C-alpha cells in the first residue's frame, strides 16, 4: 500500500471546534450473542446506556457511534449520538485491531471536518455500568496524561503469592492491604479508554493513505515517556460486568431492576 508521510500540523486538534469527543464502539457481528450491542435491557438497547451516560458528562462535547451497521447507527441517533460514518468491512471483524478502528475515526475528522479532536475517548457498550462523575474525572486526567484507561485487578489468591528479593521471600497480600496504589497485575476493561491528541511531542506522526483516506499511526513515532499513561483501577464489581453471554444480560437486568447501581443520571 502506498502512503505518504503527513505531519500532525496538518491534522492539529482544534479546541475551538470540538475538544472532547466520545465514540461508542458497536460492531454488528458478535461471536457469542447475536446483536448483543442492541439487545434491549429494561427498555433500552445496550448501546443507549453508554450514549446517555457519555452525553451527561459536562466536559464531553460530542458523542458519536462507531459501527459497521446502518441499523445500529440509526438506533444510536435516537438517543442523541451522531452517526458520522459507517466502519468499513475490514474493520468489522473480531480480529480487527483497536488501533486501526481508532485511527479510522481520526481519519474521518481529519479528512471530512478538517480537524481532529483534542481528546478522543472510546467506550464499549458491553461495559454498560459507568458513573457520570467518575467519567468526568477520567476525562480530566487527559489534561495531564497522554492515555487514560481503566483496568481490573486479576483475580488471584494473593495470600499465596510471594516476591523473592535480597532479604528473602515476602508475601504480597500485606503490602496490597496497606497500599491502595500498589501496582498489581491488571487486565483492561471497556469502561474507558481515552487519548489526548495534543500531548505528543510535536504531535503523533501519521501515514495518510490518499485513496482510502485512512490514517495510521507510524510505529516509529517519537514519544515523551513522562505522563504517558494513567490507569484507573475499577473495583466496583457491578462496573466489571462484561456483557458477553445471555447470562450477562440477565445479570445486568437484575441489577437495574433492583436499582443497585447509580449512573449519576436518570436513564429510565
Residue 5: CB atoms within 10 A of its CB come to 9
Q: Is the pTM of this model over 0.85?
A: no
If one looks up domain 4-154+183-257 in CATH, what number appears? Answer: 3.90.550.10
**DSSP H helical segments within the chain, as ranges?**
46-56, 70-78, 98-108, 132-141, 173-178, 246-257
Residue 6: CB atoms within 10 A of its CB come to 17
Task: List per-residue pLDDT tens for the chain, 268 residues long.
Answer: 233 333 334 445 544 566 899 999 998 877 778 899 999 999 999 999 999 999 999 999 999 999 999 999 999 999 999 999 999 888 877 777 788 888 889 888 888 888 888 899 999 999 999 999 999 999 999 998 888 999 886 665 555 555 555 565 555 555 445 444 444 555 667 889 999 887 554 444 444 443 444 433 433 333 344 577 888 988 899 999 999 999 999 999 999 999 999 999 998 6
Beta-carbon contacts of residue 259 (< 8 Å; ≥ 6 apart): none
Dihedrals phi, psi of 9, to nearest 5 degrees? -60, -30
Domain ranges of the chain: 4-154+183-257
Dihedrals phi, psi of 101, to nearest 5 degrees? -65, -40
How many CA atoms, within 13 angstroms, populate the side-chain half-sphere of residue 99? 7
The Cα–Cα gap between 128 and 252 comes to 8
Amino acid at each position: 500500500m502506498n502512503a505518504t508521510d503527513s505531519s500532525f500540523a496538518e491534522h492539529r486538534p482544534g479546541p475551538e471546534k470540538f475538544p472532547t469527543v466520545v465514540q461508542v464502539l458497536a460492531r454488528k457481528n458478535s461471536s457469542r450473542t447475536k446483536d448483543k450491542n442492541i439487545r434491549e435491557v429494561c427498555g433500552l438497547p445496550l448501546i443507549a446506556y453508554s450514549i446517555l451516560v457519555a452525553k451527561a458528562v459536562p466536559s464531553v462535547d460530542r458523542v458519536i457511534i462507531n459501527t459497521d451497521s446502518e441499523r445500529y447507527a440509526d438506533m444510536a441517533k435516537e438517543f442523541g449520538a451522531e452517526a458520522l460514518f459507517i466502519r468499513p468491512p475490514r474493520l468489522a471483524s473480531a480480529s480487527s485491531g483497536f488501533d486501526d478502528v481508532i485511527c479510522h475515526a481520526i481519519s474521518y475528522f481529519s479528512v471530512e471536518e478538517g480537524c481532529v479532536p483534542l481528546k478522543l475517548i472510546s467506550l464499549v457498550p458491553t461495559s454498560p455500568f459507568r458513573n457520570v462523575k467518575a467519567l468526568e474525572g477520567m476525562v480530566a486526567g487527559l489534561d495531564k496524561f497522554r492515555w487514560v484507561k481503566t483496568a481490573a485487578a486479576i483475580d488471584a489468591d494473593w495470600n499465596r503469592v510471594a516476591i523473592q528479593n535480597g532479604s528473602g521471600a515476602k508475601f504480597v497480600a500485606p503490602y496490597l492491604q496497606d497500599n491502595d496504589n500498589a501496582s498489581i497485575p491488571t487486565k483492561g476493561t471497556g469502561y474507558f479508554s481515552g487519548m489526548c491528541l495534543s500531548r505528543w511531542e510535536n504531535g503523533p506522526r501519521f501515514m495518510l493513505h490518499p485513496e482510502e483516506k485512512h490514517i495510521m499511526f507510524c510505529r516509529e513515532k517519537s514519544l515523551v515517556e513522562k505522563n504517558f499513561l494513567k490507569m484507573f483501577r475499577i473495583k466496583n464489581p457491578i462496573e466489571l460486568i462484561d456483557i458477553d453471554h445471555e447470562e450477562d444480560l440477565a445479570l445486568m437486568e437484575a441489577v437495574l431492576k433492583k436499582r443497585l447501581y447509580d449512573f449519576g443520571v436518570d436513564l429510565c
